[in-house]
Chain A
């Protein structure tokens, strides 16, 4: 037995998609079972789908991290300055999408959520906002040295777009700690 209101909507959806109600419901349950077998709920799959969509709109592509790391290392070794500048600008561009919104605090939260979702290759990514200070820490044992420095530059670019000036940076292979302050004025420990 299932809720009538849901089933009525499913009948409409089946009509829209040109398939039978029976076919649609069975497909759906099969997907729910498949995802459950891999310890994902259907809700989780839909949330992940949204992350992919946002990444697409934000100009990201998905590929194998070891290819990105190798490219990053070769490019960083060849031309550090140009590579850092490119990633910085990319960070500015990415953050710009969020700053066009008038509700600044909501935008920053959205930015944090999206960036954390896109950076699934980093097991730890934390943002701490205290007064006018922001502190970002990223840890990933898989990041190469070049990739770590470039990603730090991306974060700096994004922070500057939100009006934060970097006051300290600690970057070494797989570890990024950035401290920045809004409009260059420190107000306490971040």
Chain B
């Protein structure tokens, strides 16, 4: 008995925002768990997250992207296959493929605008978390202007153009109009104006 007690982990008081307490209570109740169990599980996961080299903020962004991707019908495809498909499809019917990417971008944009308080930030998080073929991503707002910059060392010429069209569609979905577009293989620089 004494040994068992000695093995029990010590407890400590934790200070948390008062606003969170009610939400935590509700969430724990929904799961049929005690508040202590809910909090300990969260803390345990936090330790795991950091041991895996992530931080909590990154995980929050990732979670939003993952959830949106599942709603929007995201799918993984090998990058080589994507480049091959893009090249072949563009040789056959570039106009059709470009239109599809643009329209899909618009639809995507409408969703992000509805779901996120700051859709431009959401777009940046979205590209960062899902398009690993992009080495650099920047989505910035300057007053009524939005600037998008993507750099990739592996993206083909056609894939660059399609991604640019997709981004243009997204920004149009947000209510922006394309003002300036510079495209090079693996590089997209676009400027948009808020309509």
Q: A interface vs B, CB < 8 Å?
A: 1-7, 9-10, 13, 16-17, 22, 24-38, 40-43, 45-46, 48-50, 52, 55-56, 58-68, 70-72, 74-75, 77-79, 82-83, 86-87, 89-90, 93-94, 118-121, 142, 150, 154
Q: A45-B62, A52-B129, A64-B104 are in contact. Are A33 and B78 (CB under 8 A)?
A: no
Q: B interface vs A, CB < 8 Å?
A: 9-17, 20, 23-24, 27, 30-31, 36, 38-50, 52, 54-57, 59-60, 62-63, 66-67, 69-70, 72-82, 84-86, 88-89, 91-93, 96-97, 100-101, 104, 108, 129-133, 166
**Are B97 and A62 closer than 8 Å at their CB atoms?**
no
Give the contacting residue for A55; candidates B31, B54, B76; CB below 8 A. B76
Instruction: For the complex, give the distance between the alpha carbons of A118 and B77 in Å.
Output: 9
Nearest to A74 among chain B residues (CB) is B89
Which chain A positions have C-beta within 8 A of B82? Answer: 61, 63, 68, 71
**Are A2 and B66 closer than 8 Å at their CB atoms?**
no
Count A/B pairs, Cβ under 8 Å.
Answer: 230
**Are A30 and B20 closer than 8 Å at their CB atoms?**
yes
**Are A62 and B131 closer than 8 Å at their CB atoms?**
yes
Which chain A positions have C-beta within 8 A of B93? Answer: 74
**Are A61 and B36 closer than 8 Å at their CB atoms?**
no
Shortest distance between the CB of B138 and any CB in chain A (Å): 19
**Are B48 and A46 closer than 8 Å at their CB atoms?**
yes
Give the contacting residue for B30; candidates A4, A36, A66, A77; CB below 8 A. A36
9 contacts between A and B (CB under 8 A): A2-B36, A32-B41, A45-B62, A62-B130, A62-B131, A66-B73, A70-B97, A71-B86, A121-B74
| A interface SS class | helix
Which chain A positions have C-beta within 8 A of B24? Answer: 29, 32-33
**Are B104 and A66 closer than 8 Å at their CB atoms?**
yes
**Are A59 and B78 closer than 8 Å at their CB atoms?**
yes
Across the A-B interface, give the 3 residue pairs with the lowest CB-CB distance, nearest first.
A65-B75, A75-B88, A74-B89
Nearest to A49 among chain B residues (CB) is B62
Which chain A positions have C-beta within 8 A of B13? Answer: 1-2
**Are B59 and A26 closer than 8 Å at their CB atoms?**
no
Shortest distance between the CB of A142 and any CB in chain B (Å): 7
Which chain B positions have C-beta within 8 A of A30? Answer: 20, 60
Shortest distance between the CB of B155 and any CB in chain A (Å): 10
Give the contacting residue for B14; candidates A7, A64, A71, A72; CB below 8 A. A7
Nearest to B64 among chain A residues (CB) is A34
Instruction: For the complex, give the distance between the alpha carbons of A4 and B36 in Å.
Output: 12
**Are B11 and A78 closer than 8 Å at their CB atoms?**
no
**Are A1 and B56 closer than 8 Å at their CB atoms?**
no
Which chain A positions have C-beta within 8 A of B77? Answer: 60-61, 63, 68
**Are A74 and B92 closer than 8 Å at their CB atoms?**
yes
Shortest distance between the CB of B4 and any CB in chain A (Å): 16
**Are A31 and B73 closer than 8 Å at their CB atoms?**
no
Give the contacting residue for A120; candidates B67, B75, B86; CB below 8 A. B75
B56, B60, B96: most-surrounded residue (chain A CB, <10 A): B56
Instruction: For the complex, give the distance between the alpha carbons of A173 and B108 in Å.
Output: 26
Which chain A positions have C-beta within 8 A of B66? Answer: 45, 48-49, 52
